[in-house]
Structure 1
Amino acid sequence: MLLLLVSAWRTQKSHTAVLVLTTASAILFFGQGLIGALFATRQYPVELIGLHSATATATWAILTILAIQVGLSNPNPAPHAYQHTSWRDRARDFLVLTKPIIVVLLLVTTFGGMIVGAQAWPSLSVIFWTLLGGAMAAGGSGAINQYIDRDLDTLMRRTAKRPLAARRLTPAEGLAFGVGLCLLSFYLLAAFTNLLAALLSVMGMFYYVWVYSILLKRSTVQNIVIGGGAGAIPPLVGWAAATGSLTLPAVLLFLIIFFWTPPHFWALALIRAKEYENGGIPMMPVVRGERETRKQILIYSVELVVLTLFGPLLGIGSGIYFFSAVALGAILLYMAWKLWQAYSPKLAYRTYRYTSMYLALIFLAMVVDALVG
């Protein structure tokens, strides 16, 4: 199976179906072996028995489809016009596919979910495998998103240099890499944390790739609002990994990120409105205009700050968290108010940057309060 995978990545860079199916079958084969090895060495939940059997069935099904696809494929396809680069440059491009800055922010919320849920440090093993699996899930989803948006990315200055848009990697490589990471993340989370965390991760990947990237992004001005649920799932994954269950306070973490998403991305959209218009993406500034967007940023910021103050009522934090939420929220409301009063690209960018720090600091305050509060 390893030889098949290596051969496909060396010779099938322009065959999307062949490369994706080969990569998927290799990861499924690995996942089946991993689950089987864990059963042989330790006691594991009964639901993983079903996962082991389902993986075996899926592996053989995909291998059958792969064999048919290879038989139907053109043995001499037209070469894909992409840039040949060094292995270091290729490695960097694959890293860029994962959207690493976004991955880091998502891992902060995942880690926060673990600590707040357990109200203590989970084991180092749980922390390691949850963050590794979470990074792979987020990175794989980001890669698939870039595969879906590769046509749009060429139209926007901010994204035109991405690996697929700039043709440094082939579409087949981008999609296969993303699918492989997503599958691998599921098996690592299922094997080393629990099945609930793994399934929540799958929900997040499906939400981002299918609901947001395919259904919403190009079709509705509410793309960011509805699609924000994808980015709100990581703390649920962390909570489930640390506790094995979900409770009402975990939902508050989800809602905080859900309401944080519109002001964060709309602040950026104000600056990039012309690029979104050129790409045909119905972002709020393009469809409703600049003033309405600034108004909505203020409204969602107020709702977000009020929501964060409910934490202590649900058992999330006490003094440290509450006063941090008040202070951080006051700054956010001030910036949103100023932006609503008068627009400037500089202020919009400062609001965008601050909202990133705001989310990280809110979750940091939760973590500190859970450990020492």
Structure 2
Amino acid sequence: MNNMTAQAFTKKGGLFRYLLLAASIIAFLLIVQGGILGAAPLGKGCPDWPTCFGGWAPPGNPAARLHYLHRIMSLLLGLLVLAANWTSWRAIKAARWVRAALSMALGLIAIQVVFGGFIDLVGDSGGAAWVSVFHLLLALLVLGHLLPVTLIAFRTVQPAWESRRFAYKTGFVRLSIMALASLLVLYVSGASLAALHGSGVCQGWPLCGGDIFPQGTAGRVALVHRVMTAWAGALVAVLVIQAWRYRRNSTLVLVASTAAGVLFSAQALLGSRLVEGYSPSMQVLHQTSATALWASLVILVAELGLTERNTVGETKACQRVKGLRGQLYDLLMLTKPVVVALLLVTTLSGMVIGASSWPSFRLAFWTLLGGFLAAGGSGAINQYIDRYDDLKMQRTKKRPIPAGRLTPAEGLAFGVAACLAAFYLLVAYVNLLAALLALAGMIYYVLLYSLILKKSTVQNIVVGGGAGAIPPLVGWAAATGSLDIPALFLFAVIFMWTPPHFWALALVRLKDYTRAGIPMLPVVRGERETRWQILLYTGELVALTLLLPLFGLGGSFYLVSAGILGGFLLVSAWKVWKLGGNKAAWKMYRNSSMYLACLFAALVVDVLV
């Protein structure tokens, strides 16, 4: 293939990939949006079709606008799939099965539009409810057709589409297909139960009010739903175990199977919560999680089909070479437990300060467990992202992934599992606001800091410091169910504390950061400028902490403590500025950690005493 042909394929193939990626994302969001329309008490949507209340622009009520947005997104999805279909036929000459899958997806979308119009015209009748079940089934099938094609589009780096075929021969692959089929039945049975308004027919868990065989259609559907939950759960559990035993080097296989295991457990947990009491937000999250679970298993099946030819060699290469205790220890080290301990101190402090009292053991336990998993999971994903840089640094080259004690796939799968578990535990046992704040912190740290800022700007730790400042907000929200202005000052304290803390470490490990190409302040602007910035930020931090009582945070005990602690920290920063050297910088790094813990402890004491 000549260079011109290769360049043309690369350009067209890139367009094809991103058309498919956009279509897959919109297909997922449409299912989520459909769940919101069905669960949220927003009022009446569009009663006619294709217009909305007789016009082409929706009226001002939220339900009509959301309903109309659903139609626009459906149209956009159809156009994207149509464009991808045309590209697969005319531009890149994709394999026959790729063209067939996209044509099928386009046909399913057309049927979707017809059924959607029928639902709008019929309204809330019983027939419309059952059509909604079929509507949801078609939406899942559309997503199921798009995801494998998207996966193979990103995996194919040259015009070799005809050679990219799926192969399903081993027991592990067939097990994944069984799990996917069982999940589809489970999803449809759940939607059918909703159509029958039978969410409250089974008040007990796992039995229906003590009855093994409930009466009525809704009761029988509920029984099928629970039996399928147990069956599909067993299949997913076996998948996860087998993946961790034999697919330790297959990143996508291990991550998808592990995510499926956590998502399935979360689904069961949310389902039990729905039995205890209806909540629109919980129902929307239940459907969103189910869709994410479906997507995870579709990706798993597709990836297994693509990599099936290498299964034997991979299985031999992935035999466990050390004991379970050693692996668990290495997984714990991925969480950066010392860093997490400090974050949990600020989380608990946020709970106490927000509620002006000591939280119950149950609330504190679930909040801190969720916080540990959120911070630890983010740290594990960060170590996966930084695995090549860690090899270049004396401080980090003995971490589990660069040292070879864990595979990169294990590190990423563990991190994803911990982050997902953190979110769902906080949703189920704390509250939605605390869970969303924790989710924001995870996204902030992994995407904004680790992937974007860390290696692109000298301000990486300044902007990225916001991720570490979110834990007290999580604690505050957990204890109060809301966020108040004083909570933002706790955020600001940690935000201001982060740069001088990590710049002091960067001074000590200057050669490490230089070798790794990480643009920390001393690497880019020199040691003298860094020492001055440490002193400047420390002064601003101490000034901020002394102002907190003006905003309802802390009293006389805290103010005296903040003054003393701030004085010690300023002395450390002054020595860094005046004396220089690694000894002063290392002392500043250590002292700043103790300073933050003691400062928040003083706030807690002032509240409780």
- Identify which of 307, 310, 318 aligns with 1:73: 307
Match status 1:353 vs 2:590: yes
TM-score normalised according to structure 1 size:
0.97
Match status 1:340 vs 2:577: yes
**What does 1:324-335 correspond to in 2, within 5 Å?**
324-335=561-572
- In structure 2, how many angstroms separate the alpha carbons of the residues matched to 1:244 and 1:7? 40
Give the match for residue 37 of structure 1.
Answer: 272
Code of the residue aligned with 2:273 in structure 1: it is: L
Code of the residue aligned with 1:293 in structure 2: it is: T
Match status 1:47 vs 2:281: yes
Match status 1:20 vs 2:258: no
Give the match for residue 181 of structure 1.
Answer: 418
Code of the residue aligned with 1:164 in structure 2: it is: I
- In structure 2, how many angstroms separate the alpha carbons of the residues matched to 1:130 and 1:23? 23
**What does 1:300-311 correspond to in 2, within 5 Å?**
300-311=537-548
Match status 1:194 vs 2:428: no
**What does 1:214-363 correspond to in 2, within 5 Å?**
214-363=451-600
TM-score normalised according to structure 2 size:
0.60
**1:77-117 alpha-carbon deviations (Å, 9 max, x no partner):** 66569992222211111111110001100000000100000
Code of the residue aligned with 2:570 in structure 1: it is: L
TM-fit CA distance, 1:169? 0.6
Verify the 8 A CA contact 2:245 2:319 in the aligned structure 1: no
**1:15-38 alpha-carbon deviations (Å, 9 max, x no partner):** 100110011111111111101112
Say which SS state the counterpart of residue 310 (structure 2) adopts: coil
- In structure 2, how many angstroms separate the alpha carbons of the residues matched to 1:163 and 1:191? 32
TM-fit CA distance, 1:329? 0.4
TM-fit CA distance, 1:74? 4.0
- Identify which of 281, 284, 298 aligns with 1:64: 298
- In structure 1, how many angstroms separate the alpha carbons of the residues matched to 2:398 and 2:292? 36
Say which SS state the counterpart of residue 270 (structure 1) adopts: helix
**1:228-270 alpha-carbon deviations (Å, 9 max, x no partner):** 0000000000000110000100000000000000110001110
Match status 1:100 vs 2:334: no
Verify the 8 A CA contact 1:8 1:19 in the aligned structure 2: yes
Point out where structure 1 has 5 or more consecutive residues left out of the alignment. Answer: none
Code of the residue aligned with 1:23 in structure 2: it is: T
**What does 1:3-18 correspond to in 2, within 5 Å?**
3-18=238-253
Give the match for residue 440 of structure 2.
Answer: 203
- In structure 2, how many angstroms separate the alpha carbons of the residues matched to 1:304 and 1:74? 56
Say which SS state the counterpart of residue 73 (structure 1) adopts: helix
Code of the residue aligned with 1:341 in structure 2: it is: K
Verify the 8 A CA contact 2:348 2:472 in the aligned structure 1: yes
Verify the 8 A CA contact 1:15 1:172 in the aligned structure 2: yes
Verify the 8 A CA contact 1:240 1:246 in the aligned structure 2: yes
- In structure 2, how many angstroms separate the alpha carbons of the residues matched to 1:356 and 1:241? 24
- In structure 2, how many angstroms separate the alpha carbons of the residues matched to 1:117 and 1:75? 56
Verify the 8 A CA contact 1:5 1:26 in the aligned structure 2: yes
Point out where structure 2 has 5 or more consecutive residues left out of the alignment. Answer: 1-235
- In structure 1, how many angstroms separate the alpha carbons of the residues matched to 2:580 and 2:288? 55
Give the match for residue 148 of structure 1.
Answer: 385
Asked which structure has the greater RCO (Cα within 8 Å, sep 6+), the reply is: 1
Verify the 8 A CA contact 2:246 2:319 in the aligned structure 1: no
Code of the residue aligned with 1:65 in structure 2: it is: I
Code of the residue aligned with 1:105 in structure 2: it is: L
Code of the residue aligned with 1:213 in structure 2: it is: S
Say which SS state the counterpart of residue 310 (structure 1) adopts: helix
Code of the residue aligned with 1:337 in structure 2: it is: W
- What is the total number of aligned residue pairs between the two structures? 371
- In structure 1, how many angstroms separate the alpha carbons of the residues matched to 2:310 and 2:291? 32
Verify the 8 A CA contact 2:245 2:318 in the aligned structure 1: no
- In structure 2, how many angstroms separate the alpha carbons of the residues matched to 1:229 and 1:310? 20
After TM superposition, where is structure 1 displaced by more than 4 Å over at least 4 residues in a row?
77-83
Distance change (3 Å), C-alpha of 1:29 and 1:348? same
**1:312-359 alpha-carbon deviations (Å, 9 max, x no partner):** 111111011111111100111111112111202111111100000000
Of structures 1 and 2, the larger Rg is shown by 2
Verify the 8 A CA contact 1:83 1:167 in the aligned structure 2: no
- In structure 1, how many angstroms separate the alpha carbons of the residues matched to 2:568 and 2:336? 28
- In structure 2, how many angstroms separate the alpha carbons of the residues matched to 1:260 and 1:340? 17
**1:193-218 alpha-carbon deviations (Å, 9 max, x no partner):** 00000010010000111111110111
- In structure 2, how many angstroms separate the alpha carbons of the residues matched to 1:52 and 1:35? 6
- In structure 2, how many angstroms separate the alpha carbons of the residues matched to 1:83 and 1:155? 27
Code of the residue aligned with 1:275 in structure 2: it is: D
- Identify which of 109, 122, 127 aligns with 2:346: 109
- In structure 2, how many angstroms separate the alpha carbons of the residues matched to 1:83 and 1:162? 19
TM-fit CA distance, 1:61? 1.9
- In structure 1, how many angstroms separate the alpha carbons of the residues matched to 2:408 and 2:295? 24
Distance change (3 Å), C-alpha of 1:8 and 1:256? same
- In structure 2, how many angstroms separate the alpha carbons of the residues matched to 1:44 and 1:325? 46
- Fraction of identical pairs, as percent: 58
- In structure 2, how many angstroms separate the alpha carbons of the residues matched to 1:191 and 1:81? 36
**1:38-71 alpha-carbon deviations (Å, 9 max, x no partner):** 222x336431111111111211122112111111
Code of the residue aligned with 1:126 in structure 2: it is: L
Verify the 8 A CA contact 1:113 1:239 in the aligned structure 2: yes
Verify the 8 A CA contact 1:84 1:168 in the aligned structure 2: no
- In structure 1, how many angstroms separate the alpha carbons of the residues matched to 2:542 and 2:598? 13
